[in-house]
A and B are shown apart, each in its own frame.
Chain A
Amino acid sequence: MLNIEIDGKAVEVDHGTTIIDAADKLGIAIPRFCYHKKLSVAANCRMCLVQVEKFAKPLPACATPVADGMKIFTRSKAAVEAQKSVMEFLLINHPLDCPICDQGGECDLQDIAVAYGAPASRYAEEKRVVLNKNIGPLVSTDMTRCIQCTRCVRFLKEVGGMMELGMVGRGEHAEITAYVDKSVNSELSGNIIDLCPVGALTSKPFRYKARTWELTRRPSIAPHDGLGSQIEVHIKDGKVLRVLPREKESINECWLSDRDRFSYEGLNSPDRLTVPMIKHHGEWHETDWKTALEFAAGQLKDITSAEGGEQLGVLVSPNSTMEEAYLAKEIAHGLGSDNLDYRLRQTDFRLDGKRMGTPWMGCNIPDLQEMDRILVIGSNLRNEHPLLANRIRKAVALGAELSLVNPMDDDQLMAVKHKAICTPNDMVNVLAQILKAMSGLQRLSLCLPKSLNDLLETVRVWENSQAMAESLAGLGKEVDLVSPRTGIFLGNIAQSHPRFTELYSLAEAIASLCGATFGILSPAANSTGAHLVGALPGEHGLNAKAMLKSPRKAYLLVNVEPELDCHHAAQARQAIAEAECVIALTAYKSEALEHADVLLPIAPFTETSGTYMSMEGRVQSFTAVTKPLGECRPGWKILRVLGNTLGLSGFDFDSSEQVKNAIFGGQKPSTVVWNSLNNNLRELIEIQVKIKSNVLQRLGEVPQFQSDAIVRRSPPLQKTRAVQAPVAAMHSQLLTELGLDDGEMVTVKQGVASVLLKAKRDDGLPHGVVRVPTAMPVTSLLGDLMGEIEVTRA
């Protein structure tokens, strides 16, 4: 420890601490622009110059490590003179156009200028003008305002993983730009808006919408991926105008993914459903809540009492709150149905009933970056979990070895030590090889079921799988790690894999052998929570797949657009179309709900209170940040009144908190959660070995900006380069075999349905795989996400 003094205050700090960190610790404010605690130190703005005893020149607080006994003065004459002179330099070429600048009111330059700037400028020469760049639909540029602090450049390079911006030219002509006409395509790009200390980079969707002081700020939780990012929602006149991160080091640090940041525009979509609607003789009619609920209750009651509860299927979106999921469960049970599920995109349910608890990521989010060895199975990380990918990127930067077993090879913008890119089916074999190799390395074997043992017997361990096993075991080129911190994770692709059971069993076995953390990366904001509340089929109930495959007479849909959110679009479409009664709680009028009978306008996350449970088991409740639009009502209220109208007992809730209390049985949520989270299997499961493998298999991935109903309706996200018309991508060899050319139109067929798509070459795909995205209207006629597929020239 070092003892130093800043402005007369003594403080003890660690070796290697910089002056600015020490001052921050003491609460002494040193002005800064380029310094950011999450980025490398640039020391280029010079605003943080301070006086240090025995040094003739002022030193930059951000880049100067403290030495024992150092006496630092941040407000002495010499320090303030230096700071004021830097401020003068910063302002001479700045346009001072605060009145028309979106940053006004929350601008570091403006704030610090008030403290350090002169009332008038001594600069009487011509000012610099810099042309604006179009870097995409999310970030607006006013580059004349730029003070070249390079925070944006450093962020994209160091955090985003790809240098998309640079400072070209030199001297006074140096300017920040992307390469020629390229846009910034990082899935984390919006963070450069927050990082920019001036108004050079501002939010494009928010441009000129409001002054910062007109906004009401309310805390909430991001409703998309399973991370549980903490957000701050900014509202004017009851309308959400932007979303910013709330700093939470252990979850989202100070970042947000673009999906979490810009999806709010989907809340203001003209598609929003604002009044209850009933279909009568094929025509939609607006109605009032009482009529709608009575009609819905009547229909549900009629069908369930006439045909039995098993004729009702209840599908809940994993983006619904715990309260909504819980009440949906209560209604299903109250009506005698065990057909309930939130796992809309899952296809393999053989693990049901075999797990010890609620599946989760197996560790806490920050643990990821401390790991030495990581194996990710079936995940397009950046697409599925943008900020989690960043944690892994950090681990890799700190020396961790990352191995991937995937059916595609998208660039994750981090160094991958080993990868097996293979067909979905071969993923099982690769894991079997790793297990076999690991068993040899650890001189341990597990008691495995016969089918698994047989598989291990026959499988030949390839060099690559051996290398992955060695990596996970901690073996290194020069030094072996004694007790490596290791993690094995299953991503979204693995969870919708037709042989999820095999992947899960093998991964769990590998993890047990090498002592790794084993986890499931929950796809949606409340996947883990929905499992915890038991939004799952009962013992004789049907799961999400089965209740669409064997159509029910009635469906209750909570936040679901069936053909976009379910694993088998065509089946979902048909089941809903043929059902006698479909009651949909939805925030949107949707083509996907054309065949419903009652549409109940549900409040999205900003307009309701509720709780999400993240993939690390963190229970986070939030309140409504704005009033429900039109006649929209919070989901928990609608379900409660529906329960009342159905005459069911146990629906006497006055608030979402009461529902939450019911969920947790009056106990502290953390107690319930920690008793419940468990990825272990009760028993090892016999696996299927024989599978039809000489067919083309679809890889039906959910593109990042199609993941749920809100995201799908955010115009700025839909305008990004990440959103492309769907294509049928395949390896060039497969293209040749099928006699196709890159870019030509092909007929893609699954079952009876077919669609016309452009063929696209993607040599990152294994042979035998055709990648066709799901959750997009064009492909919503197709079938199973990972089912058989045919491709022929159109």
Chain B
Amino acid sequence: MAAFDTPVQHRSDKEALVCLRTLGQPDPASLQAYLNVGGYKQLQRLVQDKVKATDVITQVKLSGLRGRGGAGFPTGLKWSFMPRYYDGTKYLVCNTDEGEPGTFKDRDIIRYNPHQLIEGMAIAAYTLGARVGYNYIHGEIWQDYEIFERALDEARAAGFIGENLFNTTFSFDLYAVHGYGAYICGEETALIESIEGKKGQPRFKPPFPASYGVFGKPTNVNNTESYTSIPWILEHGGDAFQALGVPNSGGTKLFSVSGHVERPGNYEVRMGMPFTELLDIAGGVWKGRQLKAVIPGGPSTAVMPAAAIMGATMDYDGLSKAGSSLGAGSMIVMDETTCMVKTLKRLSYFFYEESCGQCTPCREGTGWLYRVVKRIVEGEGRMGDLDLLTDVSSNISGRTICALGDAAATPVLSFIKHFRPEFEYYIQHGKSMVTGKAE
């Protein structure tokens, strides 16, 4: 089995390693490997010294850490939403349900450095007063789910999770749970529904999970990478983390680079790195070809033509200024041979297939978009189709319960905006401008 394993791709710059600190050790996922890099010391310090929750939150706020799952909401601020006093169980949830195409960073955290995530969650539990935590893991990465279950067993045996930790009154139970093939569960309220054993249908907000989450109890939901950054932040201080990045985008970021590059993989680099540098680290565009376009943060972020991204930096503001967004840092690279019409068809199919079906615009609209794009690819396109696609996308956008509607609209709108001539060519000639072929 090992023969088909993913070789780890990471940046050699050791100083930039926050989430993948154990890499390079013989068994990086082991408890020993994590203890070797100073693991669980922060948890122990906070719990034994009874460090005040507000002090922890202050450090997290200072760090400039923003939600790494894609929305980029400031983590410290989110933590301050949890009710301090609550008569009952509060919950902690980690979102390791990576299903956004091009995103595979959290998988490497749970398979190469699971203990840092466990410590990060335990620290959050201590800070927020959560008694029980769940890490919801993408169902497709079963081997990695098992690695995480083993890490939990180790941590439990070593007294880092469980009852009365470090001989104090602090107790925290953490469990691994899994999805089973539904992109929508990456949305935090759908994920909560799924933990409860229901279909992953997002809830209308408000109420937010901080007041009505798992089993109706106050719940804090963060992404894997966010929790995993916490022990480092408390070890080195929030300022140090912020200083790794650029203003408004503190710290490092794990970028998942896939598509037409020589060395696809995860690269943990400082926020604000120029795009060209990141592309170089990933080996550049494969086969010596020209860059055509990049989706910088997963398909729910707008596609950028090469010209637009070449001068951009990889951080929240940098990509926003360049006309897209950082998302989960899932960079999909497309070379000059890529037919944008065919690519959009695949993305539209994805959102059509993954719509949960709960609310009208997304349930009905994603199928409509897919069928029209498919018709174009099959040579049955009409000139009015592009305006229709734009209009239908706009009608989905902003009118759904969750962000999947917006996500489904984004590729359609951005592909047509940036590559309209390619679509028009396909409609007129019934074949691809790039490949010269029809489907």
Contact = CB atoms under 8 A, between A and B. Distances in A.
- The answer to whether A binds B is yes
Interface of A: 41-47, 49, 56-58, 60, 63, 65, 82, 85-86, 88-90, 92-93, 122-123, 125-126, 128, 147-148, 167, 169-174
A148 B182 CA distance: 19
Interface string B327-346: 00000000000000000000
Contacts of A147: 360
B353 A44 contact: no
B401 interface: yes
28 contacts: A43-B204, A43-B401, A44-B401, A46-B360, A46-B361, A46-B400, A47-B360, A56-B398, A60-B204, A82-B399, A85-B399, A92-B364, A122-B388, A125-B367, A125-B368, A126-B371, A148-B360, A148-B363, A167-B357, A170-B182, A170-B356, A170-B357, A171-B353, A171-B366, A172-B355, A172-B364, A172-B366, A174-B357
B372 interface: yes
Contact of B399 (A86, A90, A148, A170): A86
B48 to A, nearest CB: 33
Contact of B372 (A46, A125, A170, A173): A125
Q: Which 6 A-B pairs have the closest CB atoms?
A: A174-B357, A85-B395, A89-B364, A125-B371, A171-B355, A57-B398
Given A46-B360, A89-B368, A125-B372, 4 more contacts: A44-B358, A147-B360, A170-B357, A171-B353
Nearest to B359: A44
A299 to B, nearest CB: 69
B361 A171 contact: no
B182 to A, nearest CB: 7
B395 A88 contact: yes
Interface of B: 182, 199, 204, 206, 352-361, 363-368, 371-372, 375, 388, 395, 398-401
B395 A89 contact: yes
A86 B371 contact: no
Contacts of B400: 46
Given A41-B204, A171-B353, A93 B364 contact: yes
Contacts of B398: 56-58
A46 B399 contact: yes
B425 to A, nearest CB: 22
Contacts of A171: 352-357, 363, 366-367
Contacts, number: 90
Contact of A172 (B359, B367, B399, B401): B367
Nearest to B356: A170
Contacts of B399: 46, 49, 57-58, 82, 85-86
A788 B375 CA distance: 76
Nearest to B364: A89
A86 B363 CA distance: 11
Given A49-B399, A60-B204, A125-B368, A86 B355 contact: no
A173 B357 contact: yes
Contacts of A128: 367
B364 A169 contact: no
Nearest to A126: B371
B204 A172 contact: no
Nearest to A128: B367
A85 B394 CA distance: 9
A173 B364 CA distance: 10
Nearest to A43: B204
Contacts of B388: 122
A308 B366 CA distance: 84
A89 B363 CA distance: 9
Contact of A46 (B354, B355, B359, B368): B359
A200 to B, nearest CB: 15
A86 B365 CA distance: 10
Contacts of A63: 204
A122 B361 CA distance: 15
A57 B357 CA distance: 21
A100 to B, nearest CB: 23
Contacts of B367: 93, 125, 128, 171-172
Nearest to B395: A85
Nearest to B371: A125
Nearest to A90: B360
Nearest to A166: B199
Given A88-B395, A171-B354, A172-B352, A45 B368 contact: no
Nearest to A149: B360
A92 B368 contact: yes
A89 B369 CA distance: 12
A43 B401 CA distance: 8
B363 A174 contact: yes
B368 to A, nearest CB: 6
B183 to A, nearest CB: 10
Nearest to A62: B204
Nearest to B182: A170
A60 B400 CA distance: 9
A52 B199 CA distance: 31
B278 to A, nearest CB: 32
Contact of B368 (A47, A56, A86, A123): A123
Contacts of A170: 182, 199, 355-357
Residue of B355, B363, B366, B368 with highest tally of chain A CB at under 10 A: B363
A86 B353 CA distance: 20
Looking at B182, B358, B375, the one whose CB has the most chain A CB atoms below 10 A away is: B358
B203 to A, nearest CB: 9
Contacts of B358: 42, 44, 148, 174
A667 to B, nearest CB: 53
Given A57-B399, A122-B388, A172 B357 contact: yes
Contact of A90 (B199, B364, B372): B364
A44 B405 CA distance: 13
A86 B372 contact: no
Nearest to B200: A170
Given A43-B401, A170-B355, A172-B355, A89 B375 contact: no
A385 B398 CA distance: 46
A196 to B, nearest CB: 16
Contacts of B353: 171
Contacts of A58: 398-399
A350 B263 CA distance: 93
Contacts of B355: 170-172
A644 to B, nearest CB: 66
Contacts of A92: 364, 368
B184 to A, nearest CB: 8
B427 to A, nearest CB: 14
A89 B368 CA distance: 9
Contacts of B354: 171
A126 B374 CA distance: 12
Contacts of A45: 359-360
Contact of A125 (B363, B375, B395, B401): B375
Contacts of B372: 125
B345 to A, nearest CB: 14
Contacts of A82: 399
A63 B401 CA distance: 10
Which interface residue of A126, A167, A171 has the most chain B CB atoms within 10 A? A171
A43 B182 CA distance: 21
B373 to A, nearest CB: 11
Nearest to A82: B399
Contacts of B364: 89-90, 92-93, 172
A44 B360 contact: yes
Nearest to A147: B360
A90 B182 CA distance: 24
Contacts of A47: 360
Nearest to B207: A65
Contacts of B206: 65
A89 B399 CA distance: 12
A157 to B, nearest CB: 12
B363 A172 contact: yes
Contacts of A167: 199, 357
Contacts of A56: 398
A369 to B, nearest CB: 21
B404 to A, nearest CB: 10
